A = this chain, B = another copy of it.
């Protein structure tokens, strides 16, 4: 029976275990390993793993596939611990939120008779630990695969299959490129949420503010709940990219502040907000990926439901005009517009 070792059976590791048990074609034996005994016990109780082995070096013995899903700053240590016990031909992957450092550590620590392929499932939830694990956690989520140069294609195929088996959408990406992208789309939102909560929490008016906060504030700040160890590791391993995007975010805020403060042209402000709103609606309705040709059209096209959104506003008449023009263009380009990316 093929053996898989999962080092780190928190939310992600245990969810992988559950997903493999539920979806893998043949029988596989899953050995879990977690430095925290309660996590190990919970993963066993949830049947995410067949058995637990506290020592990672022993857990990987005889395993054809090893999945490291510990916080990033723990990955190098795990690699050092298991390096001597990996069988020839073993395939090692990880689930860390940054990839450049991880690939470097793999090159430095793992023996040449195994293959390493970096991975990053773009899924998660607010709860942590194996008790929150779900077999369906990765369904329809992107699973970034970052193979180092000269990785045997077979090893890449195995990680590709792993992602597909768990219901995820594999996406190949260079490690540096990945780190730059997640800084913008994942780490910046986390930092922006944290700063927003800190500002409100640090205000003298927090007692009143906290009473007035509705779901909008809660959603916008939700990522403040990110596991602090994970947040810390991300900030250290992707520092330069995060700082870069933080600077650009402050500029974007400054631009919007100027728009609001100037008040010179009400129409311009309304048009500008409406345009962003239309783009956001398109995005939330699934218009993602490459569509360079239609970018200029999309910017003005109301998606289904937009008229509802715009109705009821004092300035809705303007939106109606916008829609009328867009409708004319929509009929020509409807099919192409729905093109959902490269893959």
In the bound complex, CA of A73 to CA of B318 (Å)? 15
* Stretch of A16-24, A107-115, A200-208, A324-332 lying at the B interface: A200-208
In the bound complex, CA of A125 to CA of B309 (Å)? 11
Q: A185-B217, A228-B273 are in contact. Are A212 and B142 (CB under 8 A)?
A: yes
Q: State how many angstroms separate the Cβ of A267 from the closest Cβ of chain B.
A: 10
Contact B184 A200 (CB under 8 A): yes
Q: State how many angstroms separate the Cβ of A101 from the closest Cβ of chain B.
A: 13
* Stretch of A52-60, A87-95, A219-227 lying at the B interface: A219-227
Contacts of A214 in B (CB 8 A): 122-124, 141-142, 186
- Closest B residue to A213 using CB positions: B185
Q: A221-B280, A247-B257 are in contact. Are A74 and B229 (CB under 8 A)?
A: no
Identify which of residues 24-65 in chain A touch chain B, using a CB-to-CB cut-off of 8 Å: 34, 36, 38-39
Contact B184 A209 (CB under 8 A): yes
Contact A181 B205 (CB under 8 A): yes
In the bound complex, CA of A248 to CA of B201 (Å)? 13
Q: A128-B308, A207-B289, A280-B224 are in contact. Are A212 and B239 (CB under 8 A)?
A: no
- Closest B residue to A233 using CB positions: B314
In the bound complex, CA of A145 to CA of B147 (Å)? 59
Q: Is A171 an interface residue (CB 8 A)?
A: yes
Which residue in B8, B205, B232, B314 is a CB contact (below 8 Å) of A273? Answer: B232
In the bound complex, CA of A250 to CA of B291 (Å)? 33
Q: A207-B289, A229-B316 are in contact. Are A39 and B311 (CB under 8 A)?
A: yes
Q: Is A105 an interface residue (CB 8 A)?
A: no
In the bound complex, CA of A316 to CA of B275 (Å)? 45
Contact B8 A284 (CB under 8 A): no
Q: State how many angstroms separate the Cβ of A207 from the closest Cβ of chain B.
A: 4
Q: A142-B211, A185-B212, A207-B291 are in contact. Are A219 and B223 (CB under 8 A)?
A: yes
Contact B236 A257 (CB under 8 A): no
Contact B249 A199 (CB under 8 A): yes
Q: State how many angstroms separate the Cβ of A93 from the closest Cβ of chain B.
A: 18
Contacts of A312 in B (CB 8 A): 8, 10, 34, 36, 39, 70-71, 128-129, 227, 229
Q: A196-B188, A223-B219 are in contact. Are A315 and B253 (CB under 8 A)?
A: no
Q: Is A191 an interface residue (CB 8 A)?
A: yes
Q: State how many angstroms separate the Cβ of A40 from the closest Cβ of chain B.
A: 11
Q: Is A290 an interface residue (CB 8 A)?
A: yes
Q: A232-B273, A312-B36 are in contact. Are A180 and B205 (CB under 8 A)?
A: yes
Interface string of A221-263 (1 = CB under 8 A from B): 1111111111111011001001101111110111111001101
15 A-B pairs whose Cβ atoms sit less than 8 Å apart in the complex:
A73-B314, A124-B216, A184-B203, A186-B212, A189-B217, A191-B260, A201-B279, A210-B283, A210-B288, A211-B341, A227-B313, A229-B270, A231-B273, A232-B269, A232-B313
Identify 4 new A-B residue pairs, CB closer than 8 A, beyond the known A127-B308, A193-B220, A195-B253.
A39-B312, A142-B211, A186-B213, A228-B319
